Chains A and B, each alone.
Chain A
Amino acid sequence: MAGTLLLILLLAPALAALGCLFARTPRSAEISNLLASIVVLAMAIGLTIASAYGPYHYLDDYIVIDMTGAWVILCTAIVYFLASIHSVGYMRLVGEDARLWVFYTLFSGFTLTILVSAVMNNAGLYWIAIELTTLVSTFLVGFERGAESIEAAWKYIIIISAGISLALLGTILFYWCGSFVLGPTYQMTWEILRAAAPRMNPALAALSYLLILVGYGTKVGLAPMHTWLPDAHSESPAPISAMLSGALLNSAMLGIVRYLPIAEAAQNERLARASLIAFGIASLIIGALFIVRQNGIKRLMAYSSVEHMGVVAIGFGFGGTLGVAGALYHMLNHSINKSLMFFGAGNVMRSYGSKEIGKIRGVWTRFPVAGALWLAGAVGITGAPPFALFLSELVILRAGFERGYAWAVYAMAVLLIVIFVGFLNHFRNMYFEAGGASDAAPLAMSHWCVAPMWLALTPLVVFGLWWPDALWHHFLAAAQALGATP
C-alpha cells in the first residue's frame, strides 16, 4: 500500500518532467506540472497517514518510509502544489514563453529530487540526493538569466558544494566509526548506525557529527553558513523561492534530524544538542539583524527563512517529544506561510516593477484583496496569533523550559520580538506610508497569482485556532520513532 503510494508519488513528477521535455509547448508544460502536483499532494497525504503504521522498507533497505520522512514529503507536496498554481500566473509575466518548458522540466525534476532524498535510507545515497537537489535548482535560480540571477546561481552552487562536501566527509567518517563495530562492509542505514552508535568512539563520532551539522547546515541555511540563501531566494522566480524555502531547506534539515539520535547514542548528547541550538540561535541573530535593515523585499523573506530554520533547529535541539513535535509542526507551518509570503512578494514585485521596499507604497489601496492576504501572512510569519506559527513556536519555547535550556528560550523570545517589530515595520511602510512610488498604476494580478495565497492562508488560520488531536498523536509517534522521550 505505502509502496504503491510512494511509486505514484515519485512517478508523477518524473512523468511531468518527461512530458515537458518532449512536448515543449508552454501550455502543455503548465498543465502537466499542475496535474503532477495534484497527484503528489494526494499521495503525500496518503503516505503521511500510512507512515503511522510503518516504517516500511523497500529495495533491499535502500528506501524507507518513516514518519519524519513522510512529514517532509507532505511539506514538499503542499509547497509544490501551491507553487505550481502560482507559477502558471507568475511565469507568464516573466515573458519567457519559449523557454517555459525548460522551467517546468527543471521544476518537476527539482521536486522529484527533494522527494527522493526524503525516503533514502542509506546515508551515502541521501547525500547524493541532496547534491542532486542543488544541481537541478541551480538552473532554476539562474532561470531569468540576468547578471544578478547568474551571480546568485554561481554563489549558490559554489557555497553549497563546498558545504556539502563537509557533509560527505562526515558521512565517511561516520562509516569509519561504524566499521570498528560492524566490520569493513555494511549497509549504512540510519537504523544500523543508530544500533551501532553506543559502541562507537565518542571523539570520532563527535567530529563526524559536527562535520555533518556544518555540511547539511549550509544547505539548511543555518547562520553563519547561510550566505547563499538570501541571494538564491531573492533572484529566483517567486514559485522557486517558495520551493527553496518551504521544501528544500526541510529536506536538508531531515539529514541533521536523522544523524542527531546517532550522535546522541554515541555518548555525545550534550554536544550534539548544544551545537544545534547554538546554530539556531545564531540564525535568529543574523535573521533579526538583517530583517531590521533590509531594502529588498524578497531578501526580507529570505532572512525570515534563515530565522525560521533557526527556530526549527532549536526545536530539534531541545528534543523531547515536545521539542520534536513543535519542530515538525513548525516545518509545516513555515512551509505554507513562507509560500504565501513569497507569492505575495513576487506579485507585488512584478506589479511595481521593483524589488526595493522603498519603491513599493500603497499596497493596501491598490490591491485590497491580495494585499490583505499578504499582510495576514506577514502577521502570521512573525509568529503572532491567531496563526499556526504562533502555536508551534510556543510549543518549542515550552520544550526549552522542560528540557532545561532556559537561556536559549529567553534568547529566542527576545530575538523573535525584535524580528516581529522589524518585519512588520517594513509592511507598515509598504501599506500605509505615502509617496516614493512612481505614478504609473501597477499591473493587475491574475487569479492564478492570488488563488494560492487564499489556499495557503486558510490552513494557517485553521491550524492556528485548532490543533487536531490526530496531528498531535502523529507528532508524538514521530518523536518516539526518533528516540525522543517525554
Chain B
Amino acid sequence: MPVAQFNPLAASLFSFLAITSLLLAFVMLGSRWLNNYLYAFAAESWIIAALSAMVGFYGGFPELYLIAVLTALFRGLLLPYLIWRIIQRLGVAREIHEFLEPSSTLVAGAASVIFALIVSYHIGQSLGVTGNVVVLALTVMLAMKLIGFLMLTARHEALSQILGLLVLENGIFLGAQLLVPGMPTLIEIVILFDLLVVVACFGVLVRYLVAHVGSTSSLDLNRLVG
C-alpha cells in the first residue's frame, strides 16, 4: 500500500489538493452561472494534474508524469475549450429554473460530504488503514460522486448536466491517483481519450437538442413518459 508510506509533507500536500478540488466542486454547486462551472471545472482538472505529478514524484511512479501532462492538456485545456464552444453556441448564460436554490444545494452537498466521510471512515477502519490520506481520498472520491449526482438532478440546463458528469469523472480520477497510483497507464490514457469522445458526442447532441427540440432544458424533455 504505497500511500501509507508517504512522508508527512507529501501527505499534507495531497490532502490540500484533494480538499481544494472538493471546494471547487462546491463552487459549482453554489453558482448558477455556466461560466463559473466551467472555470471551476478547469481549475479542478489542473489540480488533479498537479496531484498526479506529485504522487508520481513522491511515490516513485514515473509514468504518472505522462498522465499529469495528458490530464492537464485534455481535462484542463481541451475539454474546457470544447465546453466553452458549446456555451457560446447555446447563448445560455445561467440556470433559470432551478429545482433547488444554490443555497439549499450547498447544504445538500455538505450532507453528502458527511455521508461520504462516514462510509470512508468505516472502510478505512475495516482495512486497518491509519493513514489519513487514504480516508480523505476515499471521502473526496465519494463526495464528488454524490455532488455530481446532485448537479445532475438539481440542474436542468443541458450544459450543467454535462459538467455534472464530468465532476463525477473528476472525482473518480482524483481518488484513483491516490488510491491506485500503480494502475496500468494504458487504462488511464484510454479513459482520458474516452472522455474527449464523450464530450464531443454531447456537443453534437446539444446541437440536435437545439435544432429539433428547441430547448436545452431538461424540463422541456417531457414527451416520453409511462
Q: Which of B19-27, B32-40, B168-176 contacts A (4 or more CB under 8 A)?
A: B168-176
Select from chain A the residue with minimum beta-carbon distance to B200.
A135
A162 contacts B182, CB within 8 Å?
Answer: no
B190 within 8 A of A: yes
A222 within 8 A of B: no
- Tell me, rounded to whole Å, the shortest Cβ–Cβ distance linking A145 to chain B: 6
Select from chain B the residue with minimum beta-carbon distance to A148.
B223
- Tell me the bound Cα distance from A148 to B182 in angstroms: 45
A157 contacts B126, CB within 8 Å?
Answer: no
Which residues of chain A from 301 to 352 have a CB within 8 Å of any chain B CB?
none
A295 contacts B226, CB within 8 Å?
Answer: yes
- Tell me the bound Cα distance from A154 to B221 in angstroms: 9
Which of A158, A235, A290, A299 gathers most chain B CB within 10 Å? A158
Residues of A within 8 A of B168 (CB): 162, 165
Partner of A172, one of B164, B172, B214: B172
Select from chain A the residue with minimum beta-carbon distance to B210.
A150
Which of B1, B187, B202 gathers most chain A CB within 10 Å? B187
B179 contacts A176, CB within 8 Å?
Answer: yes
Residues of B within 8 A of A23 (CB): none
A155 contacts B221, CB within 8 Å?
Answer: yes
- Tell me, rounded to whole Å, the shortest Cβ–Cβ distance linking A144 to chain B: 10
Which residues of chain A from 131 to 185 have a CB within 8 Å of any chain B CB?
131-132, 135, 138-139, 142, 145-148, 150-155, 157-158, 161-162, 165-166, 168-169, 172-173, 175-176, 179-180, 183-185
A128 contacts B194, CB within 8 Å?
Answer: yes
- Tell me the bound Cα distance from A176 to B134 in angstroms: 11
B226 contacts A125, CB within 8 Å?
Answer: no
- Tell me the bound Cα distance from A241 to B145 in angstroms: 31
Which residues of chain B from 114 to 132 have a CB within 8 Å of any chain A CB?
119, 122-123, 126-127
Which residues of chain B from 201 to 220 have a CB within 8 Å of any chain A CB?
201-202, 204-205, 208-209, 212-214, 218
Partner of B226, one of A138, A145, A235, A296: A296
B226 contacts A299, CB within 8 Å?
Answer: yes
B183 contacts A157, CB within 8 Å?
Answer: no
B141 contacts A184, CB within 8 Å?
Answer: no
B190 contacts A125, CB within 8 Å?
Answer: yes
Residues of B within 8 A of A176 (CB): 179-180
* Interface of chain A, main secondary structure: helix
A234 within 8 A of B: yes
- Tell me, rounded to whole Å, the shortest Cβ–Cβ distance linking B101 to chain A: 23
B62 within 8 A of A: no
A145 contacts B212, CB within 8 Å?
Answer: yes
Residues of A within 8 A of B202 (CB): 157
B149 within 8 A of A: yes
* Binary contact readout B63-86 vs A (1 if CB under 8 angstroms, 0 otherwise): 000000000000000000000000
* Binary contact readout B43-78 vs A (1 if CB under 8 angstroms, 0 otherwise): 000000000000000000100000000000000000
Q: How many residues of B contact A (CB 8 A)?
A: 48
Partner of A235, one of B197, B214, B224: B224
A484 within 8 A of B: no
B205 contacts A138, CB within 8 Å?
Answer: yes
B213 contacts A150, CB within 8 Å?
Answer: yes
Residues of B within 8 A of A202 (CB): 126
**Given contacts A158-B152, A165-B168, are A230 and B176 in contact (CB under 8 A)?**
no
- Tell me, rounded to whole Å, the shortest Cβ–Cβ distance linking B215 to chain A: 10
Select from chain A the residue with minimum beta-carbon distance to B175.
A172
**Given contacts A169-B172, A172-B183, A204-B123, are A294 and B209 in contact (CB under 8 A)?**
no
B158 within 8 A of A: yes
Residues of A within 8 A of B169 (CB): 165, 168
A231 within 8 A of B: yes
5 closest cross-chain pairs (CB), A and B: A184-B182, A185-B182, A124-B187, A203-B126, A231-B224
Q: Which residues of A contact B (CB under 8 A)?
A: 122, 124-125, 128, 131-132, 135, 138-139, 142, 145-148, 150-155, 157-158, 161-162, 165-166, 168-169, 172-173, 175-176, 179-180, 183-188, 201-204, 207, 230-231, 234-235, 290, 293-296, 299
Q: List 18 A-B contacts (CB under 8 A).
A: A128-B191, A128-B194, A135-B201, A146-B212, A152-B224, A153-B205, A154-B205, A154-B218, A158-B161, A158-B165, A162-B168, A165-B148, A175-B180, A179-B1, A186-B182, A188-B187, A294-B226, A299-B226
- Known contacts A176-B179, A180-B127; 16 additional CB pairs below 8 A are A122-B187, A124-B191, A125-B190, A154-B205, A154-B209, A155-B221, A157-B201, A157-B202, A158-B152, A162-B164, A165-B169, A169-B145, A173-B179, A202-B126, A204-B126, A296-B226
Q: Which residues of B contact A (CB under 8 A)?
A: 1-2, 61, 119, 122-123, 126-127, 141, 145, 148-149, 152, 158, 161, 164-165, 168-169, 172, 175-176, 179-184, 187, 190-191, 194, 197-198, 201-202, 204-205, 208-209, 212-214, 218, 221, 223-224, 226
